[in-house]
Structures are given as structure tokens and as C-alpha cells.
Chain A
Amino acid sequence: MAATPQVAGGLSAVDVSVWAIRVAGALVLFGVWQGLALSGLFFRDVVPPLQKIAYGLPALFAIGAFYTNLAVTGGELLLALIIGGLAGLVVGLLLGGSQLLSDAYERWLSYLGPTPKIILFPVMIMLFGVGSSSKVAMGAISCFFPIAISVASGVRGVDPTLRRVGRSLQANAWQMFLKIELPAMTAPLVNGFRLGFGIAMIGVLLAETKLSNQGIGFMIINAYTRFDMPQMYALLIVTIAFAAFVNAFAVRMGRGASARGRFEENGMLKCLNRVAKSPPVARFVLRQSAPRPSRSVRVFWFARGRASAGPVRPCVGVLDRNAACGQATRYTGWKTTMQFGWLTLALSPAPDEDALRIEQQIEQVCAAEALGFSGAWLTEHYFTGESVYNDALLFAAALAMRTTRIRIGFAVVQMPFHHPIRLAVQLALLDNLSKGRIDVGIGKGSVYNEYEFVGHGLRSSDSRARTAEAIEVLERAWRETPLVYEGKYFSLRVPELRPRPVQRPGPPIWRSVISPGSFTECGRLGIPILTARLPVDRIKQRWQLYKAGLAEGGHDERTCERLLAQAALWRNVYVAESDAQAEDELSTLLLRTRAHMMHVRGEYNPADFHIDPVMLNPWTDPAVGESDALAFVLATGSLFGSVVRVREQITELRDVGVRHLLCQTGFGDMSHEQNLRSMRRFGEHVMPAFRS
């Protein structure tokens, strides 16, 4: 355990010398003892020679009364542990579960815990008499404190992910406790009982030495009064050895438990595995707890990704094909936790690779779901291999069938390229296929890639007006039956829009916002927002504008809170082994991506098209050199580094009010494996830090 620089050389040689030192140390101690014993400096048997102590042990074991007294003390100790342990467990669970109770009472525990309990013995005698009961009471009071304190901190230490898993599986309070909390806090629990045992033993035995006519403590004090030193030594050796044995045993158990309890590596999978192994919850037929009757019964099972031989994936589904099922997958916990969405803008470098890249994208979404991302957000681009699936809606349908929990969002649908009614129908179908997991970000089309407009037979000049009209049609299509619309771009009459979306009136429509004015505007209208590259120092101000808009719009408090928590910020995210490695690799990827962007824009954008200068920044401006562009995008739009550094960067964002982060983890033609590695580091080591 202790490998200091001095301990060098072959391991076995060191072991031998350590043992030699130990033996020498023991011999010296024994020698000194024997010397003192034989020196005659001490009165009679006060320091008896070693052989007398050695004879004392078998002599003790030969006394019948020893076993009777052992039984008495053992019984008292056991009872004390049961009473004090249960009380400590209950109190610890209550304190750990409630911040208020903990604030109110935990200080008492931590201060009263270390006070010398033995001074309460007179009180215990008055309350419980001079017999065994007062000893049990002493032991129970002594062990109550460390157990309660350990349990309380154990409850707080349970990884919030595990609780969320339990909640999302709708475990009831008892299942939650038995299957999730208790196993997760085994280590602190064992430790609490270990400390409690030691202290209860002291309490019981000291009480016995003080006032008693039976028990090991009584034997010790009796040997003292009779001046039977060998027996007293024997009793002390037996008692302390027993305590040491129990302690060592508990330490080992605790270590085993904490090794088993180390969930970070496999996240919720382990917890789910455990839940699955036990029959009562095996198929996890979790009743939808009140208020609604159990029409939608949730089940969960395990599945292995088809293409990959990767880890087993937990799946949650709804048995009943009832419209209300969709509700179950609605966001929960917006208020207290930070949400992480996963966003893809993947590029397939060559037509030959498209099929593979599409398959890999699906796997990435499945991985995002398993890692606990709250949403998978799809971008929409055409003609260059960027957003390799191109048709985000069709791709979303595939994802809806391969995933069960993660929400599927569009960031964003390029509105000019879709007929609003057709879009309304497709989104409604998607909402049904996914059981209400669709979010729709809407934009007016790329401001950089004019070739995407040209490819659809359009130009971007009227995109703003066209989009405004299309959004109106889309929203009204889900509300009005029949819908009659007369506009500049669209004139139509729809008898009834079918299928009806699962989410009412339809999937939430999000707006992508950049300018300060649009933050206020969206707030006023109560529209959820997505925002891209925004430097940290400006986030707070923009979020304030949104908040001000919300207040102006007069929305109720819950809506405001929900919308503020949902307001999403897009960031590049890359987690590597070290900060330097992350910066190097991300820089390479970003520069390749930028080169691709600049190339296709230069090549395909019509000659008469000029990017609106307002939209130009060092990253998008072709006139800016690579190093400046890179510096800009790394500083304003990217979270990258080792796990620790990325956590710091996210803390910074959280501190300015961001509670929903869209994480783009793939850049340009980055390989599938590299992307998964980074996602995994992020999902397993960064995200859990922001779930409470």
C-alpha cells in the first residue's frame, strides 16, 4: 500500500524485509515487556511475564462462567445494534432525503455524535434499571449516531442518475429504496455499522464495568478487583482481538461493496441489471402510479444494438398504444437538473461512405440514448454530404423505431424547403411513431448555403416571409378543423389533419434565435428557443431578455420556469484523455470542416449571392485566416479538454443560467469510433456531475 521512494528493488525482497522488521518490532516489544516483568519494578502481577499471560488465555477459556457472560454481552450488543441501527437507519434516511430536515437536525447529530456517551449511563439506569436493559440502551445510543450520520450522507451520495433511472422506470417508493438506493449506498451503510459496532461495544462493556453483575465488562472489572491480572489481560486480549476482527471483516465487506457500488463506469446499466435480476421487478411491470389508472403499463427490457456488439442497452417502452402514453416520455426534472441534448451535423466525405455513415449515425443516437442524453437533435442540410441523411424527417422516423426514451428534435427544419401541410402531416406521424417524443426547431433556411435554395428551385430573398407564413399554416393545421388559409405563398383548405399528433396540440415548435430582439419576442410568445454560438459573457444578458419577454407575455410561473430551463445552447463538445490532446484533435477536425464549408460555398453558391455581413464572424467569414477562425470557434463555441476541464466549462455555463446544452460531438468527417469515445467520456464522466 505504501510505496514510498525508499521502497525500491524487487517486490518479494521488500515483503521479506517488511516482515523481518515486523517480527523484530514484535520481539523488541515482547523483550521490553518481559524485561519489565522480571525487573521487579512493578508490584506483583501488574506487568506479568509473557508466559503467565499466555497461560491466562486457555485458563479463561476453561472457565464456564466466561461463556455465560459472553452470551450476555453478545446478546446485549446484538440487541443494541438492532435497536440503534434501525433507529439510525430511519433517521439517516429521513435526513438524507430531505434538505430541510437535514438543515434542521443534522447539526445535532454531528455535534452530539462525538460526546462521551458513557456519561448518560446514570440516566439509562434510572430509565431502564440496573439490569441488561440499561446496557442495551447505552449500546443503542452509542451506535445510533455514526449509523445515522453515515446513512444520511450515503443517501445524499447516491448517484442521481440511478434515481432518475428508477423514476423513469416508475419504480414505487419501496422498489426505489430496495432496488436502487440501498444497493447504491452499501458502502457507507457498512461503514456506519462498522463504526457503530465499535462504539456500541465500548458503550455496552463500559456500562458493564460500571454497574453490573454479569457480562464480559463485569468480568474485566471483577478481575481487576480480585487483582487477577492474567485473567484481566486474557479478557482484554480476547475483547480487543474480537473488535479488531469484526472491524477488519467490515472493512473488507465495505471495500467489496464500494467496488460493487462503483457505478460511474457503467452508469445506470449496472443498476438496471440488478433491478432486472430480481423477479418482482424483472419485467418491471410498473404501474403508472396515480392519478391516472394503469392503462399505460411501462415495461423495460434489455437489448443489444444490432450492428454493434456493444453494451446491453436498457429499453423502456409502453405496452398500451394509448394516446396518453406519449405523456410518459415528456421531460421530467427540468427544474433541478441540467439537460444535455446530443446534436449531429455529421459529414460523409464521399458518396461511397454514405450508407455506412448513415448506419453509424443511428448507432450514435442509440448510444446517446443509453448515455442519458435527453434529446437527439438533427440538422438538415443538402447536396454536399453534410447532414449525411439529408432528409431529417425520414431519418427521424428510423430513429423513432430504434429508440424508446430519447426525444428527437430538429435543429432545425429548413422551412422554405417544406410545404407546411406536408410537414404537419409528417411531424404528426413522427409524433405517433415516437410516442410523443418530437421537438421541432424551425429556421428560415441557411444564410450561408444559397446553393441549398437553388437546388430546391428557390432563392433566399423571400425566405423570411415564406417561413413566417409556413409556420402559421403549420401551427394552425394542428389546431383548426377545418383549416382554411389564404396567404401570399400558400392558399389551402384542409378538412382535418390526420394522424392527430400525440402531443397536443402538436409537437413543441422551437425557434432558433440570434438577435437580442428575437429573444424578447420568443419570450413574449412563450416559444422555446435554440441558440447557436453565443459567447459566455453574452449568454446571461440574452437569457435575461428572454426572461423579460416571458414576464411581458404574462405566462404562468410554471411555463416560464419550464421555458427558461429548456432554452438550449449549442456547443461543440469534445472530451479526450488530456486537455492538449483534445485541443489538437478538435482543432484538426474543425479546420477540416471549415475547409469543406468554404469549399462548397465558394464552389456552389451562385455568383450573385453574398452572405449578409451581419451574419459573418471569424468562423464563417472566408476572408479570415484559419488560425483566427479556429481561435474564435474554440473560444466562443466549444467545450473541449479532459473530463475535468469540460466539467469546469459546463459549470461556467450553468452559472450564467444555461440549463439545456445541445452537444455537437461529431465534426466533419470524424470517425465513428472517435466520436463514440468522446461521447462516452462526456456521458459517463461529465453529465453525471450536473444531474443534481
Chain B
Amino acid sequence: MSGGMSARSRYLAPAISLGTLAGALAVAQALITTGIISPYIVPLPTDIFASFGRVVVEEGILGRFAVTVGETLAAGILIMLAGIPIGLLLYRFGRLRAAFEPWLAAIAAAPLVLAYPLFLVLFGRSSLTIIVIGFASGVAPVALKTIEGFASTRRVLIDVGRSFRLTPAQEFRQILLPAALPQIFVGLRLGLIFCLINVVGVEFLINLGGLGQLINDLAERYDLPGTYAAICFVVLVSILFFAVLDRGEKWLQRRR
């Protein structure tokens, strides 16, 4: 489908894409300078660009970035430590799986972040709350994908292992785990994405911590160009994060 990208569209598409962006910015700039859109609602794109430096230097954006990434990674590690064993447990015991897999799917689909006030009450207004919410939003997909990974191990591989009289531990290490890894990585990628979204979102909502708080802070100070610049920064960071995860997953798959 998208595999056969013609030579024309290989150059034309990015040109259109960038052109649209540049065009939209130029139109916005024109509309605001002529006063059709109030600069107190949407700041000039040039002002937004100009305030990037200020936001980076004065607001300590790199430190905040580190906080957000730290929270995400902490939650990510918890997700890995809990999600994979849960998945493995449910895979090993078929009845447990039959009983609880639908529950996991329900948790994965539930809008858990809405319960952030509850987590605030339980864990206080601290980084811990943010990490727990990040964890809660990412653990179910990892567990589900882990089950899927193990369960989709080709029967013939397991039989081959049996014919070599592998012990259960050997069978796990040499057959089940390698077969399940790709799916587990897919799960981890999803889990980390959900995790980051919720971490930033909750930072913004409870005005605590890293990048999310910065946006809230700047908005409350009515620093419009700064707010827009910070939002752009967060969007860029998220895109970078997704791209890195995407690449990482592909790289791991190739290495196998």
C-alpha cells in the first residue's frame, strides 16, 4: 500500500507537508498582524519562536524534561516489573487467564486517568502519584501483550524442545521467551506511550513536576508566547519519544 511510494510523491509529499506548515504559520502571522485575530488570544508565530530560547534558559526546561522523563522511566520500569510477570502468570495458568484476561482488557480500555483525584488522595501531591498513574495506565497492555506473545509461540517449536527433553526452565529460556519477545516489546512500547501521555497530562492537571507543570505555570502567568512555545516543545518531545520507541522496536526485531 504505502510501500510503493512513487518518486514523485517521495519529494512532493514532504514539500506539500512543509509547505502547508509554512503557509499556515504565514497566514496566522498575517491575520494577527492585521488584527483579525487578537494577539492576546494567539501570539505571533515569530514571537513564539523568539520565546523558545527564553523558555529553555529561564524556565529550566532541560531540568523539567529530565523530571518528566525520569517519572516516565520509573513508571516504565514498574510496568515492566509487574506487567511481564502478570502476563507470564496468566499464560502459565490457563484458568487464571480465562478468568482475568477480560478484566485486564477492561482495565486497559478504562479511562483510569479520570481517577487522578483519587490517586492524589491516596499518594499525596507528589511525584509518586504521577508515577503510579503512569504505571496504572501502562501495565495492562504490557500484561496482555505478554500473554499474547507466549500464547502465540508456535506449537512445533515447543514440541521440538520437548523432543530434546528440555527442562521447563530451559524450555522457557530457549524457546518461549525468544518467541514471545517481539510481542512483549510491542506491549512495552504501547505501555510507555500511554505512560508518557498520562505523566505529562497529570503534571499539567495537578501543577506538579516537569513539562506539564511548565505549561500550566506559563498559562497561569498569561505568558502566551511562552505557553505556546512550551506546548510545541512537549509535542516535539512526544514525537521524538514515539520515534525513538518505534526505531528501538524495529532495531530489536532486526537483531533477532
Interface of A with B (CB < 8 Å)? 1-7, 14, 17-19, 21-22, 25, 42, 46-47, 99-105, 107-108, 111-112, 114-116, 118-123, 125-127, 156, 198, 201-202, 205-206, 209-210, 217, 220-221, 223-224, 227, 229, 232-233, 236, 239-240, 243-244, 247, 692
Residues of B within 8 Å of A692, CB to CB, are 1
A2 adjacent to B101 (CB under 8 Å) = yes
B12 adjacent to A22 (CB under 8 Å) = no
* Cross-interface CB contact of B118 among A102, A111, A118, A233, cutoff 8 Å: A233
8 A–B pairs (Cβ distance < 8 Å), ordered by A: A4-B151, A25-B103, A104-B16, A119-B231, A122-B219, A224-B121, A239-B114, A244-B110
Contact status of A6 and B93, CB under 8 A, knowing A105-B20, A119-B215, A122-B227:
yes
A116 adjacent to B98 (CB under 8 Å) = no
Contact status of A116 and B198, CB under 8 A, knowing A2-B97, A6-B93, A104-B13:
yes
Residues of A within 8 Å of B113, CB to CB, are 202, 206
Interface residues of B in 1-16 (CB under 8 A from A): 1-2, 5-6, 9-10, 12-14, 16
Is B100 part of the binding interface, using a Cβ–Cβ cutoff of 8 Å?
Answer: yes
A sample of 7 more A-B contacts (CB under 8 A), given A4-B91, A104-B13, is A4-B94, A21-B96, A123-B227, A123-B228, A205-B114, A206-B114, A210-B204
Interface of B with A (CB < 8 Å)? 1-2, 5-6, 9-10, 12-14, 16-17, 20, 40-42, 91-101, 103, 106, 109-118, 120-122, 151, 193, 196-198, 200-201, 204-205, 212, 215-216, 218-219, 224, 227-228, 231, 234-235, 238-239, 242-243
Report the minimal beta-carbon distance from A292 to chain B, rounded to whole angstroms: 31
B238 adjacent to A25 (CB under 8 Å) = no
Closest residue on chain A to residue B109 by CB atoms? A247
State A2–B99 Cα separation when bound (angstroms): 10
Closest residue on chain A to residue B150 by CB atoms? A4
* Cross-interface CB contact of A104 among B20, B91, B93, cutoff 8 Å: B20
Q: Which of A19, A122, A233, A244 lies at the interface centre, i.e. has the most chain B CB atoms within 10 A of its CB?
A: A122
Residues of A within 8 Å of B198, CB to CB, are 116
Residues of A within 8 Å of B216, CB to CB, are 122
A198 adjacent to B109 (CB under 8 Å) = yes
Contact status of A111 and B242, CB under 8 A, knowing A105-B17, A156-B1, A229-B121:
yes
Give the A-B contact count at a CB cut-off of 8 A.
172
Contact status of A240 and B197, CB under 8 A, knowing A104-B20, A119-B212, A127-B41:
no
Contact status of A112 and B235, CB under 8 A, knowing A107-B17, A122-B215, A220-B117:
yes
Residues of B within 8 Å of A115, CB to CB, are 197, 234-235, 238-239
A7 adjacent to B205 (CB under 8 Å) = no
Report the minimal beta-carbon distance from A690 to chain B, rounded to whole angstroms: 14
Report the minimal beta-carbon distance from A29 to chain B, rounded to whole angstroms: 10
A116 adjacent to B212 (CB under 8 Å) = yes
B99 adjacent to A18 (CB under 8 Å) = yes
Report the minimal beta-carbon distance from B241 to chain A, rounded to whole angstroms: 9
Residues of A within 8 Å of B224, CB to CB, are 126
* Cross-interface CB contact of A100 among B13, B116, B219, B227, cutoff 8 Å: B13
Report the minimal beta-carbon distance from A150 to chain B, rounded to whole angstroms: 15
Residues of B within 8 Å of A244, CB to CB, are 106, 109-110
State A318–B120 Cα separation when bound (angstroms): 72
A114 adjacent to B9 (CB under 8 Å) = no
Closest residue on chain B to residue A47 by CB atoms? B122
Residues of A within 8 Å of B6, CB to CB, are 99
State A156–B98 Cα separation when bound (angstroms): 35
Report the minimal beta-carbon distance from A39 to chain B, rounded to whole angstroms: 14
Report the minimal beta-carbon distance from A223 to chain B, rounded to whole angstroms: 8
B204 adjacent to A118 (CB under 8 Å) = yes
State A4–B152 Cα separation when bound (angstroms): 10
State A5–B14 Cα separation when bound (angstroms): 51
A118 adjacent to B231 (CB under 8 Å) = no
Contact status of A209 and B205, CB under 8 A, knowing A119-B200, A119-B212:
yes
Contact status of A5 and B215, CB under 8 A, knowing A104-B13, A105-B17, A205-B114:
no
Residues of B within 8 Å of A224, CB to CB, are 117, 120-121
Report the minimal beta-carbon distance from B141 to chain A, rounded to whole angstroms: 13
* Cross-interface CB contact of B41 among A22, A119, A126, A156, cutoff 8 Å: A126
A119 adjacent to B111 (CB under 8 Å) = no
State A347–B93 Cα separation when bound (angstroms): 60
State A692–B122 Cα separation when bound (angstroms): 56
State A236–B111 Cα separation when bound (angstroms): 10
Residues of B within 8 Å of A19, CB to CB, are 99
State A19–B243 Cα separation when bound (angstroms): 42
Report the minimal beta-carbon distance from A640 to chain B, rounded to whole angstroms: 25
State A240–B118 Cα separation when bound (angstroms): 13
Closest residue on chain A to residue B240 by CB atoms? A111
Residues of A within 8 Å of B193, CB to CB, are 114
Residues of B within 8 Å of A14, CB to CB, are 95, 98
B99 adjacent to A118 (CB under 8 Å) = no
State A229–B122 Cα separation when bound (angstroms): 11
Residues of A within 8 Å of B20, CB to CB, are 104-105
Contact status of A240 and B42, CB under 8 A, knowing A6-B94, A103-B5, A119-B200:
no
